[in-house]
Structure formats: C-alpha cells, structure tokens
Structure 1
Amino acid sequence: MDVAVKIVNSIRARSLRRRLFRSQLKDNDSEYEDLLLFCHVRWLTRGSSLERFLNLLPESIAFLDTLGEKHEQLEDPVWVKKLAFFTNSMGHYNSLNLQLQGKEKNIIELFSSVNAFKAKLKLFASQLKRQNFKYSPYLEKHIKLTGECNMEMFCSELENFNQEFERRFANFNNLQPIFEFISFPFGEFDNEDI
C-alpha cells in the first residue's frame, strides 16, 4: 500500500508529471484519465485509489520507465498479487462500511451485516483454496498474467481478517440472544440467555 501511495503521490504531486501522465493515458486510449489521490481522511479513497492504480499499473510502469525511475516492487509478481488481493479486500471492506452507514439503521441490521461479512470472509477463503476467483477478480487477473501463486498465503490472511473481526465484535456475540428476542419475540428462548 505504501509503495502504491508513494508512486501515485509522486505522479500527482508535480503538475508537469501529472500532465505528462494524463497525456500518455489519453494517447493510449486508456479507460481512465488520471490516478486517484489517496487521502487518509476519506476512508473510501483507499479502495478506489488502489483499484485505479492496479488498473493503470502497466501505464504507470511505462511512465516511470520514461522518467528513469525504477520501482522493484512493481516488477515483482508476488508483490503485485499481494496488491491485487489487498485491492479486492478493500473493495469488500468498503461495501461493508457502506452497509453500516446511513439513517434509520438499527443495531440488529448492523449486527446482521457484520455477521454476514464474517461468513463472507470464510467463503472467500474456501473459494481461494479451490482456485475459484469469483470474489477476487483483481487477483485472478494478475495470476493469469504472471502465473501461479501460493494461495495459502491469501487464505491465511483472510483467516487473520476473520479472527480480527471476531475479536473486534466479540461484544456483539454476547448480545446475540437479545437481538434474536427483539427480532422474534414469540420464538422459543431460554430466560437465562436473555
């Protein structure tokens, strides 16, 4: 992430470089006109800027080559696959964050969204173990370009993410019987659970 932010900032921070890069994108009939700037204050920009950077990676490498700048990570297939995996993950986190925001959301809906995301993390890991990239399109694209990779590394990362979610939302699990009672007041419940 730091390398990607550094490269984007080096291109966007200087107006001449930015104009040259935009001109190169226009000459190559690129899908995008420019890189997106990452900002720590606006959390959604992380996923968006990573997606744009990854989509413009070949153009960025070519542009940096014309300037005589080499970034070894950009040529390292393992690093690029990690970046692709991180980009996919950030996209999923952004969608969760959007689900957790907004007016008229109650705690039960938020609890359901968090639990669904934890289940999705397990699904993503099981899909990656089977080489199914339905939920990891950027990773799939870069594996096709650069060859095989160690899926266990990504599966263990997803398991670590899931453990972190379990730790952060442990208090929600203690409140689950109350949420179930509020959602289904005439269901069968043990008074001790509530």
Structure 2
Amino acid sequence: MDAIATDLSFRDATEDDVDTLVALIESAYRGESSRAGWTTEADILRGQRTDPEGVLDVIRAPAARLITAERDGRIVACCQLEHRGDHAYFGMFAVDPTAQGGGLGRTVLAEAERRAREGWGATEMHMTVISVRDDLIAWYERRGYRRTGRMTPFPYGDERFGIPQRDDLRFELLVKPLV
C-alpha cells in the first residue's frame, strides 16, 4: 500500500459532517480557493457547487453513501456512491485543493470502485462530467473510464448547480467496467 493510502481512513459521512463537506466541495471547485488545485471550475461556473440540503440528501438516501477520506482526523476528500442495479454512480467527488496532485484522488476513486464492486456487486461505475473539462476527463480516462458520447443538458437557470459562464455546458457519461 502506498504512503497516500496508509495515512488515510475511510468512513461513511454523517449528518454532523455536512458543513465540513459543503466547505470541502466548494473549495475544490468554486471561487479563488479552488485555484490552488487543478479541479477548479471557477472559469466556467460561479456560485455554489452544492448546498447542505444536497449533501444531506446523499447521506440520507437508502441506496447511496457519501464516503469521506480522513487524514489526521480531518476530512480531506469525499465522494458519493449510489447503487443503481448492476452499476454504481460516482459523484460529489472532492479533494482538498491543497492536497491535489499527489495521488489522494486516485486512492479515493480506487476505494469507491472497490466498495461498489465488493459491497454491491456492481459491474460498472458511471459518472457524469462537464464535457468541456478536458483535463479532468483525461484524468478519468487514465484510470480506465471511457467517454460514451451520451450527453445530458446542463441545468441552466438552476443556481443550485452554479451560474454558467458559457453557453456550451453539457454532462457526458463516463463508464468503467469493475470486473
């Protein structure tokens, strides 16, 4: 096991974690703090990425889990897993921007894949990524995900998902076999 993984502990999020998780997710994607890492969406979206209600919905959903990764008692990453029959959905993935680029995200993704495969018997992992996020999509492709070309519209006008700074945003489905 590599050094990144040995100093991490994983657990399911609780309602007590909501404020910490919202702050983590926002810091990884929006505003100036997100520019410390490479996953920022600050140039394509302003406003919020999530809110307490959205995080609570995942924590409370019977077919979902919100997994946290902790280092020294502090949450440094999280991801959503949702059981959807033969596949699992991966989302709400965030890594503290000051900890990005060192393998933490890769470790969290691998743990999510393991849990989906071993815990639910999922044969595929699905996720959606904003189609203009070329660097992020390339990162997932290096981890075995493939672009499907299946697009869904970005929810323009719903500020719960942010305020778009361009008019060509869509979500693309990425898929990886877990067997």
TM-score class, shorter-chain normalisation, is under 0.3
Higher strand proportion (structure 1 or 2) = 2
Give the TM-score normalised by the residue count of structure 2. 0.26
Give the TM-score normalised by the residue count of structure 1. 0.25
Higher helix proportion (structure 1 or 2) = 1
